[in-house]
Structure 1
Amino acid sequence: MNIRFRSRGWSFGFRSAIMLYFVLLIVLPILGIYTQSFKLGWTPFWESVSDPLAWKAVLLTLKLAIIATVINIFLGTMIGWVLIRYRFPGRRLLNSLVDLPFALPTAVGGLMILLLLGPNSLVGSFASGMGFDIVFHEPAIVVAMVFVTFPFVIRAVQPLLEEMDKSEEEASYTLGASKSHTFFHVIFPSMLPGISSGAMLAFSRALAEFGAVVLVAGNIPGKTLIASVYIFGEIESDNPQGAAAVSVMLLTLSFLILWAVNLVQTRRLGK
């Protein structure tokens, strides 16, 4: 009885510590943002959200995040496929490098993009010669978003490819189906839940990116100023109400995306 009582007490204390951590570091900051944005009422909130610069920053962020997500869907699916289905020298090294954007400070990632694609670089000079610039324009923002969200689709697709029953694929070939028909009708449906969840996580992450983007965007209001940098500027301008209002928009959208991801994963596990 004494041992059982101690075990229950330890378990209760552990659960309490986890809940305290969850409340202090997640729930309270989220509630603080919503409280800050609405504390002056609905009218100041709407004025902050409907500000032309804020609205343009949010729309630009959504547009570029969608572009980066689409790129990641194609790149992530192909890279995940190659890393699982093929064996070649350096595969393990490449597989470990996939997670580099998670480990690398995003500001360092932005500096890497600046050095690689900047006007003084080989790529940047070639682009300038062709009549367009990369850094301090929208393409650089897309590259930064792709970089920081690169692992999501790959890591979501790989487990599904590993768990896939190859007998269905072999049966399709035995029945005379082509490789493209087998891929799109047998393999791709099994990969689709991972692609969907990875894409939604990548999109949500791209919406909030700051460190890599701020170095390469130029941050021109109405042109290359994205939402996260706009929020930072509002804080620097001593306007927490405006910063919180835009933050609420992004936060609410992120909640909806995470809910959709959980729904997709629940349906996949239910099957």
Structure 2
Amino acid sequence: MSSLPIAGTRAAPKTVIPGFGITFGLTLAWLGLIVLIPLAGLFLKTFELTFEQFIGIVTSARVLNALKISFGIALAAAAINLVFGFFVVWALTRYEFPGRRLFDAIVDIPFALPTAVAGIALTTLYAPNGWIGSLLEPLGIKVAYTPLGILIALVFIGLPFVVRTVQPVLIDLESELEEAASSLGANRWQVIIKVVIPTLLPSLLTGFALAFARAVGEYGSVIFIAGNLPNISEIAPLLIIIRLEEFRYADATAIAVVMLLASFVLLFAINGLQRWSESRSAAF
């Protein structure tokens, strides 16, 4: 006899692609091994400290200044890349000019270039006796071994994240929308502000979040140009390395935990803003 479904119950829908349970389990296992377990170990290491010791470490002047430099300059660099990355994408996708493919390939150089090489190159250029630094020195502008040098390094390594995130969306943007806005009397700036940017806003925020996340944890390209002066140009990742070299492992993990929590909160806020912009765009 064939079994019949019980009244009031509903059979589980069959998926077209089988094996969801296996793939989902493998995903969770891999995520746990690569991400969750190391992060859990990071938090467990801080339990070697009392709460008063933890607060004393993360609120010391040197740590607070290092965190301020890392997060403040990372946010500034991501904001700069958000603006100028949009200009770069616009030029690469909307205009034909000699060498466009070459410039498009140059954007990816920070992806492939070792961070130490980038740091040495930037220091060579912006040092007081460098090609660019020697021109800025008479004007009283010092780049290398200052927070300004850190900003330039973070802008350099973060630009491709904005460009490559926004570029495919702008390529797929239907030109009919811009033509319709123009036919209704909108000028070029109104078309960009009211049609193009709202459509690109989710991808712009994604690029901003990726550039910020990369900048917060950047180490190799920064230490060469920063000068690493405590309370002036010392970044939090470098301070963590210093604490590890001093065998103060609990101190290092305390700083790392603060960086992790702060990064998570900022990225969560950015992702929430991205989802809001996506829902707002869908509503219209």
TM-score, normalized by the shorter chain, greater than 0.5: yes
1:152-207, Cα deviation, whole Å (9 max, x unpaired)? 11122112212212222101111121111111111111111111121122112211
Report what 1:73 is aligned to.
82
Select which of 182, 203, 215 maps to 1:194: 203
* CA–CA separation in structure 2 for the residues paired with 1:66 and 1:149: 11
* Distance across 1 between alignment mates of 2:259 and 2:93: 35
Q: Which of 147, 160, 172 is the equivalent residue of 1:151? A: 160
Q: Which stretch of the first structure deviates more once superposed, 70-79 or 159-168?
A: 159-168
User: Are 2:105 and 1:127 equivalent residues in the alignment?
Assistant: no
TM-aligned CA deviation for residue 260 of structure 1 = 4.0
Structure 2 counterpart SS, 1:204: helix
Give the Cα separation in 1 of the matches to 2:272 and 2:160.
Answer: 21
Whole-Å Cα distance in 1 between the matches of residues 148 and 261 of structure 2? 26
Match of 1:142 in 2: 151
In structure 2, relative to structure 1, the CA distance for the partners of 1:103 and 1:177 (3 Å cut) is: same
Equivalence for 2:188: 179
**2:165 partner letter:** A
Q: How many Å separate the matches in 2 of 1:10 and 1:29?
A: 26
Task: Find out whether 1:117 has 2:126 as its counterpart.
Answer: yes
**Which residue identity is paired with 1:197?**
T
Shift of 1:249: 1.4
Offset at residue 146 of structure 1 (A):
0.7
Equivalences for residues 237-256 of structure 1 within 5 A: 237-256=246-265
AA at the equivalent of 1:127: L
Decide whether aligned partners of structure 1 residues 10 and 155 sit closer, same or farther in structure 2, where only a CA change above 3 A counts. closer
State whether residues 113 and 144 of structure 1, in contact with CA within 8 Å, keep that contact through their aligned partners in structure 2.
yes
The structure-2 alpha-carbon separation of the partners of 1:10 and 1:195, relative to structure 1 and needing over 3 Å to count, comes to: closer
Q: 1:99 aligns with which of 108, 128, 132?
A: 108
Report how many aligned residue pairs link the two structures. 264
Per-residue CA deviation, residues 24-70 of structure 1 (Å, 9 max, x unaligned), is: 22111111111112332322211110111001111122221122112
| 1:213 matched residue in structure 2 | 222
Equivalent position of 2:93 in the other structure: 84
Greater Cα offset, 33-42 or 123-132: 33-42
* Structure 2 Cα separation of the partners of residues 124 and 136 of structure 1: 11
Task: Report if the CA contact (8 A) 2:202-2:275 is conserved.
Answer: no
Alpha-carbon separation, structure 1, partners of 2:120 and 2:52: 40
Q: Distance in 2 between matches of 1:162 and 1:8?
A: 34
Are the equivalent residues in 2 in contact too, given 1:149–1:202 (CA < 8 A)?
A: yes
Aligned pair 1:36/2:45, yes or no? yes
Identity among equivalent positions (%) equals: 34
1:8 to 1:190, Cα distance in 2 relative to 1, 3 A:
closer
The 4+ residue runs of structure 1 with deviation greater than 6 A are: 7-11
Higher helix fraction (1 or 2):
1
Contact 1:140–1:217 (CA under 8 A) maintained in structure 2 = yes
1:51 aligns with 2:63: no
**CA RMSD between the two structures:** 2.2
User: Contact conserved, 1:201 with 1:261, CA < 8 A, in 2?
Assistant: no
Contact 1:48 1:241 in 2 (8 A): no
Residue matched to 1:3: none
List alignment gaps of at least 5 residues for structure 2. 1-16
Shift of 1:212: 0.5
